[in-house]
């Protein structure tokens, strides 16, 4: 015996909810990956600059730190969207989300 129209509709709604949550999580994961990529570039630049970097090198590194902090703000926004989406779907506990999607602290300029 096949599923009723109501059951098929309910399955479609659940599938759509799962896709929305998945997209929100993927957007946050991508934002965090971008932060990590920028952070690696900063670390490489600092390592290459040595103990007494020139002013132009410092300016370049600080530019990357600015990009990192902007990417962090974007990641925080994506995190907020994920939490709001979860709340709208009835999820009230977000401990796992907090553990999986940790947003690193802001970086200070050199």
pLDDT digits (tens, 9 = 90+) for 37-95: 999 999 999 999 998 889 999 999 999 999 999 999 999 999 999 999 999 999 999 99
Helix (H) or strand (E) holding 20: helix 5-49
The whole-model pTM stands at 0.87
Which residues, in sequence order, are CB contacts of 82 under 8 Å at separation 6+?
A: 21, 24, 25, 27, 28, 97, 101
Does residue 1 have a pLDDT over 80? Answer: no
Retrieve residue 103's tokens.
Answer: 């947003």
With beta carbons less than 8 A apart as the criterion, state whether 72 and 106 touch. yes
Retrieve residue 78's tokens.
Answer: 């994506």
């Amino acid at each position: 015996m096949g599923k009723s129209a109501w059951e098929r509709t309910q399955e479609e709604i659940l599938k759509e909810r799962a896709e929305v949550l998945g997209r929100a999580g993927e957007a946050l994961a991508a934002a965090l990956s971008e932060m990590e990529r920028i952070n690696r570039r900063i670390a490489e630049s600092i390592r290459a600059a040595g103990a007494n970097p020139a002013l132009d090198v410092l300016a370049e590194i600080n530019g990357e730190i600015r990009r990192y902090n902007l990417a962090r703000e974007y990641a925080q926004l994506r995190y907020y969207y994920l939490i709001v989406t979860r709340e709208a779907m009835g999820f009230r506990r977000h401990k796992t989300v907090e553990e999986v999607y940790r947003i690193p602290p802001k970086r200070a300029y050199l």
